[in-house]
A and B are shown apart, each in its own frame.
Chain A
Amino acid sequence: MSSLRNRLTLALSLVLVVAAALLAAGLQHFPRELVERYIASRLEHDADALYVQLAGADEASRATPGAAESALDAEQAAADSMGPVYRLPLSGHYFRIDRVARPPSPAHAGRTIRSRSLWDEDLPPVALRDTSERVHRQPGPDDQTLLAYTRRFSGAEADWVVTVAEDVSDLDAAITRFRNGLLGAMLAAILVLAWLQRGIVVSGLAPLQRAVDACRRLERGESVAIPNVAPDEVRPMLDAVNRLVHHQTQRLSRVRHAAGNLSHALKTPLTVLAQIADERASAGDADVAGTMREQIASMRATIEREMRRARLAGSGASTQAFAAREQLAALVEALRRLHAGRALRIDVVAPEERLPLDREDMLELFGNLLDNACKWANAAVRVELVDRGDAVAFCIDDDGPGVAQPLLGRLGGGALRADESRPGHGLGLTIVGDIVAQYGGTIEYLRSPRLGGLRVQGSLPLPQRDTTTGSASSLRRT
């Protein structure tokens, strides 16, 4: 899982679920124990009271010598005096008292007294092993669930085992209802909390998304730096990116500047040499002049080509974007001046948008292509740029004589001058080829179906532009 959002959400949800599980487990146990402890203490009081009554009746019966029968009766009567709930049949409150003589004597055999509420049912005798008291659950009459408290009292002559029981089925049901209600509410709370957490995570990570968007804009050349208004955690990263971009831009401009200086420094002497060659030629020294010109031409071609190559930014460089229509218009205006002697119609069809391509590279590309078209055209030149989303397609037509079929394939393949009669050095189309190759694009030369002269058409791939919105929406969806 590579999404920070999803990872955080999952971790937070896990914590939430564990907390909820602990709470649920506690809910199973605590309310029931609380209620049982409360009831048990009440039962204990009743058991104490019963014993006091019985012990009193027993002592009285022993003081007045009489039959064992009357003792039992007296004891029963004493027990009955505990209150109406123990007399009402199946009231849910019961007791059973076993008198165990000590030592066992025939006169006072074990007697058992039951509450009248038991009606003709019975509470099974409870075995107290080593302990003197015990609380347990047991099934009771009429499908009741009883909570029973049993205690052994040691009297002077006998042990009394008193069991007091109370029906807790209603309470159990109430506890279950309470617990289910609480679990339901908890589930709802977990869902709400999970949703809130997701929101917090998303909004907490929003600065990251904004930073990513800003980086993309930078990549597309829509801005020259990332605005570093971001939380403390993100700002150092943006600063680093800005520094890197600044560094890169500076380096490119330094390289371009150095290339410019170097070519300036080399070309001016070359010009002088070329003029000396011309002078030698007019002085009749044609051999030397020819050799000199050849060497000068070769040096010039190398300088020109390598300098221009060094200056290419290429794709992926975060440089000034190419504002297609605006810059083509400026280029056409420049070409009109360069070809001012001729009435040329130059049509530009280009989208009004900033394409993520280096401005200088594109001026170089279209400058060479359009200049070539203008040189050969009779009256009309047309340039068309279409943004196809993943690439930009270009097409340049002229109404000149065109290029013979066998030469078409060789255009742009090297310093080939198809015609020596017009000014130029045959380097233009080579540079065009270099630029297109640098951008991983395509280019082809054919006869123009539109104007009848040469058509140059090709395409340059664009860096992906819709990934930002695409990935953002997919993140929002998950």
Chain B
Amino acid sequence: MRVLIAEDDEPLAARLRERLAREGYAIDVAHDGVDAGHLGATEPYDAIVLDLGLPQRSGLELLADWRAAGNRVPVLILTARDGWSDRVEGLRAGADDYLGKPFHPEELVARLHALMRRAAPAADVQLRAGAWRLDETRQCLVHDDAREQPLTATEFRLLRYFMRHPGQVLSKSRLTEHVYEFDAERDSNVIEVYVRRLRALLGADRIETRRGQGYVFRADA
């Protein structure tokens, strides 16, 4: 799951990046409206945290542009202007949620999580694969017999993306895009390694290989 944080206050953006990375999200940060507009329009984000008071281009402008271009990415507006007329304006422009500053980081995490869950093909609160359940808070797999299987950060990100998009053919490049940040070194062969790891954990038939296309996750196999 990849998230763009468009926030001009650098200390706040850095802290948000750190906090959300801990949740297993791949985070990009934009400090001004032009960067944010460009990233939002070209990168396949799963959610965007948007400050309205961005320099150069306002958040509302960016949002209107994205929506006009048919980009349905969930957007959470994060702003100090939290009067109700601003909120109504923001939500009418196409935002999906609105959080006024200052906020509790936990609330932001919870809301962002809910936004992405609702927007994904599998909107269940609990993600399951056979007897395994993915604990998103602790980032590990829990078996019905209470056995726990720790996951590395990348394993968790990849598995969560698979589980949120069951039955879809996911290409290696798409998986890379949603698991790694913009400036991360991307090597699609690494994905193969992680898929092999996940198959070893969950069973080989959970993740099918479609030659030349990518992988399909089977939640009900």
Write out the residue numbers on chain B whose beta carbons fall within 8 Å of the beta carbon of A359.
85
Type the 1/0 row for B5-36, where 1 means its CB is closer than 8 Å to any CB of A.
00001011001000100000000000000000
Asked if residues B105 and A341 are in contact (CB atoms below 8 Å), the reply is no
Write out the residue numbers on chain B whose beta carbons fall within 8 Å of the beta carbon of A268.
9, 12, 80, 101-102
With A340-B96, A367-B88 known as contacts, the answer to whether A270 contacts B102 (CB < 8 A) is: yes
**Considering only CB atoms and an 8 Å cut-off, how many residues of chain B contact the other chain?**
29
Among B19, B83, B118, contact of A360 (Cβ-Cβ < 8 Å): B83
Asked if residues B101 and A270 are in contact (CB atoms below 8 Å), the reply is yes
With A330-B88, A340-B96 known as contacts, the answer to whether A272 contacts B83 (CB < 8 A) is: no
Closest to A273 in B: B102
Closest to B111 in A: A423
User: CA–CA, A423 to B97, complex, Å?
Assistant: 14
User: CA–CA, A363 to B90, complex, Å?
Assistant: 13
Write out the residue numbers on chain A whose beta carbons fall within 8 Å of the beta carbon of B12.
268, 271-272, 275
Closest approach, in angstroms, between the C-beta of A366 and any C-beta of chain B? Answer: 8
Write out the residue numbers on chain A whose beta carbons fall within 8 Å of the beta carbon of B103.
271, 274
B196 within 8 A of A: no
A133 within 8 A of B: no
Closest to A370 in B: B84
Write out the residue numbers on chain A whose beta carbons fall within 8 Å of the beta carbon of B37.
none
Asked if residues A308 and B83 are in contact (CB atoms below 8 Å), the reply is yes
Write out the residue numbers on chain B whose beta carbons fall within 8 Å of the beta carbon of A274.
102-105
Asked if residues B87 and A367 are in contact (CB atoms below 8 Å), the reply is yes
Among A260, A327, A341, A367, contact of B81 (Cβ-Cβ < 8 Å): A260
Among A271, A331, A337, A423, contact of B84 (Cβ-Cβ < 8 Å): A331
A386 within 8 A of B: no
8 A Cβ contacts from A183-212 to B: none
Asked if residues A300 and B88 are in contact (CB atoms below 8 Å), the reply is no
A278 within 8 A of B: yes
Asked if residues A333 and B92 are in contact (CB atoms below 8 Å), the reply is yes
Among A260, A267, A333, A367, contact of B102 (Cβ-Cβ < 8 Å): A267
Asked if residues A338 and B85 are in contact (CB atoms below 8 Å), the reply is no
User: CA–CA, A337 to B91, complex, Å?
Assistant: 7
B204 within 8 A of A: no
Write out the residue numbers on chain B whose beta carbons fall within 8 Å of the beta carbon of A340.
96-97, 118
**Considering only CB atoms and an 8 Å cut-off, how many residues of chain A contact the other chain?**
36
A368 within 8 A of B: yes
8 A Cβ contacts from A268-300 to B: 268-275, 278, 296, 300
Closest to B52 in A: A264
User: CA–CA, A239 to B135, complex, Å?
Assistant: 68
A364 within 8 A of B: yes
Among B15, B81, B91, contact of A338 (Cβ-Cβ < 8 Å): B91
With A267-B80, A364-B85 known as contacts, the answer to whether A272 contacts B118 (CB < 8 A) is: no
Type the 1/0 row for A432-448, where 1 means its CB is closer than 8 Å to any CB of B.
00000000000000000
Asked if residues B53 and A264 are in contact (CB atoms below 8 Å), the reply is yes
Asked if residues A296 and B102 are in contact (CB atoms below 8 Å), the reply is yes
Closest to A366 in B: B84
Among A265, A308, A340, A366, the most chain B Cβ lie within 10 Å of the Cβ of: A340
B98 within 8 A of A: yes
A455 within 8 A of B: no
Asked if residues B80 and A368 are in contact (CB atoms below 8 Å), the reply is no
User: CA–CA, A408 to B212, complex, Å?
Assistant: 65
Asked if residues A278 and B105 are in contact (CB atoms below 8 Å), the reply is yes
Closest to B100 in A: A267
Closest approach, in angstroms, between the C-beta of B93 and any C-beta of chain A? Answer: 10
A249 within 8 A of B: no
Among B84, B88, B91, the most chain A Cβ lie within 10 Å of the Cβ of: B84
Write out the residue numbers on chain B whose beta carbons fall within 8 Å of the beta carbon of A269.
9
8 A Cβ contacts from A298-347 to B: 300, 308, 311, 327, 330-331, 333-334, 337-338, 340-341
Among A263, A363, A368, A423, contact of B88 (Cβ-Cβ < 8 Å): A363
User: CA–CA, A366 to B53, complex, Å?
Assistant: 25
User: CA–CA, A311 to B86, complex, Å?
Assistant: 12
User: CA–CA, A363 to B9, complex, Å?
Assistant: 29
Asked if residues A263 and B105 are in contact (CB atoms below 8 Å), the reply is no
Asked if residues A264 and B80 are in contact (CB atoms below 8 Å), the reply is yes
Further pairs besides A337-B95, A338-B87: 10, Cβ < 8 Å? A263-B81, A265-B80, A268-B12, A271-B102, A272-B15, A296-B102, A311-B83, A333-B91, A337-B97, A340-B96
Q: Which residues of B contact A (CB under 8 A)?
A: 9, 11-12, 15, 19, 53, 79-81, 83-85, 87-88, 91-92, 95-98, 100-105, 107, 114, 118
**CB-defined A-B contacts under 8 Å, sample of 23:** A260-B80, A264-B81, A270-B102, A271-B102, A271-B103, A272-B9, A278-B105, A296-B102, A327-B88, A331-B88, A334-B92, A337-B91, A337-B95, A338-B87, A338-B97, A338-B98, A340-B118, A341-B114, A360-B85, A363-B88, A366-B84, A367-B88, A368-B84
The 10 closest A-B pairs by CB, nearest first: A367-B84, A264-B80, A271-B102, A267-B80, A334-B91, A267-B101, A270-B102, A363-B84, A363-B85, A268-B9
